[in-house]
């Protein structure tokens, strides 16, 4: 369907699509198997200026006023070929969001141009005992003169170990609960900042997931984003903007699996005809296509709403797009495996990977149960207002 993109947005899609087809698709299975970090692809993404699309022009970017839509377009295209490799890009977007949301001009000048050029970023919120309840973070930052001294461990951090710039959520005032959390930027190589082992995951295996370990790690006082105590607010505002990104990753995975399923159904012959001639197969493919298109419409509408700035709190819609698109991705990829039958279950064929990759989109950046709570909260609050 034509969603009436600007000429520049169409160019972004073409640029991303060429990388997906020429640089990602041929090596996706290999990186999924090895779990190696796809640096050559990340470099190609950087050289193609795609890390610029969510960063304002004054900081080396090319967001052209629509950072979220641009991020969604690129993430969707890259994810069609591999939902794991695309994360090097998408998780950098997530890690950058707190800087975009809360940083001063000086701080933006310090970090954003590097990210625009292709330096990876990562978002450090989750801990062993702070998942859905993000306010329960225990990583502690104590001001000592002109420096924050950080202690604690972040868990399951995407791009962990590969990224250079980390936005880390730390408790700076334990007496204030969620209002005592601050966002602090920590750069790789800072003494006292190390990484745990690389996690061995079900899907998105070409993406790096590691612990961030802080042991008396000292960073300059001016690395705190916004006011101390605004961290939880920054995190929530980040999610409002970043969840369409996860949604578009899910959307790309779903579309990629659907494309494979449709092509296969035209080639695979049983009972003397292509299986695409069977109504049972047609109904399945039609349902898959309908849901993917509905997800796409919701994701794009949400991204445009956020970029327009008319909605101060787009939380409910961000949650809807993430929840709906990821549920669709899980369903569509599962059915794509079904379309390919026994072949679909084999690793020689690409669809089982799409199914494994899809699962995480229902879990991270807020489980889909948390998304439904956000949606309900939004519904109830707006009903109470009217």
Binding site for other proteins (CB under 8 A): 7-8, 11-12, 14-15, 18-19, 22-23, 44, 47-50, 52-53, 62
Q: Which of 287, 316, 281, 288 is nearest to 301 (CA)?
A: 316
Question: Is 7 in the active site?
Answer: no
What is the closest distance, in whole angstroms, from the C-beta atom of residue 167 to other proteins in the complex? 25
What is the closest distance, in whole angstroms, from the C-beta atom of residue 8 to other proteins in the complex? 7
Q: Which is nearer to other proteins, 27 or 168 (CB)?
A: 27
Q: Which tokens in the block code for residue 375?
A: 């949606």
Q: Which is nearer to other proteins, 52 or 237 (CB)?
A: 52
What is the closest distance, in whole angstroms, from the C-beta atom of residue 76 to other proteins in the complex? 16
Distance CA 356, CA 201 (A): 9
Q: Which of 251, 249, 246 is nearest to 367 (CA)?
A: 246
What is the closest distance, in whole angstroms, from the C-beta atom of residue 237 to other proteins in the complex? 27
Distance CA 386, CA 382 (A): 6
Distance CA 173, CA 155 (A): 21
What is the closest distance, in whole angstroms, from the C-beta atom of residue 103 to other proteins in the complex? 24
Q: Which is nearer to other proteins, 15 or 87 (CB)?
A: 15
What is the closest distance, in whole angstroms, from the C-beta atom of residue 254 to other proteins in the complex? 24
Q: Which tokens in the block code for residue 343?
A: 């072949």
Catalytic residue among 162, 352, 365, 374: 365
DSSP code string of 14-42: HHHHHHIIIIIGGGHHHHHHH----HHHH
Q: Which of 80, 332, 28, 71 is nearest to 207 (CA)?
A: 28
Q: Which is nearer to other proteins, 116 or 122 (CB)?
A: 116
Are 37 and 206 within 8 A, CB to CB? Answer: yes
Q: Which is nearer to other proteins, 75 or 361 (CB)?
A: 75
Task: Write the DSSP symbol of residue 308.
Answer: H
Q: Which is nearer to other proteins, 29 or 44 (CB)?
A: 44
Taken as a whole, the chain contains a residue count of: 386
Neighbours of 288 (CB within 10 A): 25
Non-local (6+) Cβ contacts of 75 within 8 A are 86, 89, 90, 93, 245, 248, 249, 252
Active site residues: 365
């Amino acid at each position: 369907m034509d969603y009436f993109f600007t000429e520049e947005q169409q160019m972004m899609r073409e640029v991303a699509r060429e990388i997906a087809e020429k640089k990602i698709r041929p090596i996706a299975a290999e990186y999924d198997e090895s779990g190696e970090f796809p640096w050559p692809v990340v470099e190609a993404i950087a050289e193609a200026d795609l890390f610029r699309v969510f960063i304002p022009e004054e900081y080396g970017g090319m967001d052209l006023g629509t950072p979220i839509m641009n991020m969604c377009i690129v993430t969707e295209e890259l994810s069609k070929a591999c939902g794991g490799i695309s994360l090097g890009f998408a998780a950098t977007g997530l890690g950058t969001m707190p800087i975009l949301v809360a940083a001063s001009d000086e701080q933006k000048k310090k970090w954003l141009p590097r990210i625009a050029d292709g330096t990876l970023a990562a978002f450090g919120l989750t801990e062993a005992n702070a998942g859905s309840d993000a306010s329960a973070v225990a990583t502690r930052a104590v001001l000592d003169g002109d420096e924050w001294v950080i202690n604690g461990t972040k868990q399951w951090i995407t791009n962990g170990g590969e990224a250079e710039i980390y936005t880390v959520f730390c408790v700076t005032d334990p007496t204030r609960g969620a209002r005592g959390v601050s966002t602090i930027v920590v750069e790789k190589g800072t003494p006292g900042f190390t990484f745990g082992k690389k996690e061995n995951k079900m899907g998105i295996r070409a993406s790096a997931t590691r612990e961030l370990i802080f042991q008396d790690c000292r960073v300059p006082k001016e690395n705190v984003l916004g006011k101390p105590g605004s961290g939880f607010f920054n995190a929530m505002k980040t999610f409002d903007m970043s969840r369409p990104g996860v949604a578009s990753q899910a959307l790309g995975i779903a579309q990629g699996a659907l494309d494979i399923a449709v092509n296969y159904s035209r080639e695979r012959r049983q009972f003397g005809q292509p299986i695409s001639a069977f109504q049972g197969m047609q109904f399945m493919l039609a349902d898959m296509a309908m849901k993917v298109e509905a997800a796409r419409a919701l994701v794009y509408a949400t991204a445009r709403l956020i970029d327009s700035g008319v909605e101060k709190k787009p939380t409910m819609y961000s949650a809807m797009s993430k929840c709906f698109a990821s549920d669709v991705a899980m369903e569509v990829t599962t059915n794509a495996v079904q379309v390919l039958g026994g072949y679909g279950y084999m690793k020689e064929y690409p669809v089982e990977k799409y199914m494994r990759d899809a699962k995480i989109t229902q879990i991270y950046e807020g489980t889909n149960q948390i998304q439904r709570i956000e949606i309900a909260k939004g519904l109830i609050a707006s009903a109470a207002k009217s």
